[in-house]
Amino acid sequence: MPHKKKTISTTVFFNVYFFFRFLEPIFFGDYPREMHELLASNLPKFTSEEKSLLQKNKADFIGVNHYTTIYVKDCISSPCDLNTYEAYEGNALVLATGERDGVAIGKPTAFDGYYVVPEGMEQIVKYVNQRYTNTPVYVTENGYSQYSNNTMDELMNDGERVNYLQGYLTFLSSAIRKGANVRGYFVWSIIDNFEWTFGFTVRFGLYHVDYETQKRTPKMSAKWYRDFLMGSRPTDQVQTLRADS
């Protein structure tokens, strides 16, 4: 199997095992070509009836949750420390990491392993559209995390979140202008909430939530996003926007 792996890029290999092994049967009634090439007879087979049923009942759209971009390293034909949590991805024997030669791929966020790499938004949307024949895409989650123990001023005047959203939306717009069939975009999240992995220790919300009183207060990012949607604020004015304005 290792010699076959070399015919497939490590990035594609990672995406196939982490994402496309689920999408491909939904849209084409079978596992990805790359999985057939690698696993051959070890890959479970769909019956003709199952394939027909899947092809007749395709999904109407693809939802993409996108927060960050990472590097991946082939661990089949090159050495990796497989004891790190980063090496588990999809049981595909690849190392997924945010650093290369000690340099981070982007500015780190409060959510461990998530970095600010806005150009990744354009790349993933375009690739999904190309692979799935221009199927409508909705960006179902995209957002920036803060530590909950930041000062109240830092939480409310969340300029880093504004910059994050501005950057990612800029590259999403670029993908659309180049033909990507994107139908919608949803920020994660409207309000601070209980995160599956980190609980209340990080905040993604456009609105601050006081977890004791449940009071909701719009942050700088909420006001920026409102104005962005209304088309009333040029993006180059973002640094002048304050949460108390």
- Residues identified as active-site: 141
Name which of 78, 4, 50, 188 is nearest 16 in CA terms.
Answer: 4
Strands 182-185 and 137-141: parallel
Bridge partners, 103 (sequence order):
100
Please give the structure tokens belonging to residue 180. 């990507």
Report the alpha-carbon distance of residue 86 to residue 225 in Å, rounded.
33
Strands 207-209 and 94-97: unpaired
Residues 127-136: contacts with CB under 8 Å, at least 24 apart: 127/15, 128/62, 128/64, 129/179, 129/180, 129/181, 131/20, 132/23, 132/27, 132/62, 134/181, 135/27, 135/59, 135/61, 135/62, 135/181, 136/60, 136/61, 136/62, 136/181, 136/182, 136/183
Query: Which position has the token pair 């600010």?
Result: 116
Angle of helix 21-28 versus helix 48-56 axis, rounded to 10:
80
For residue 53, give the 3-state DSSP assignment.
Answer: helix
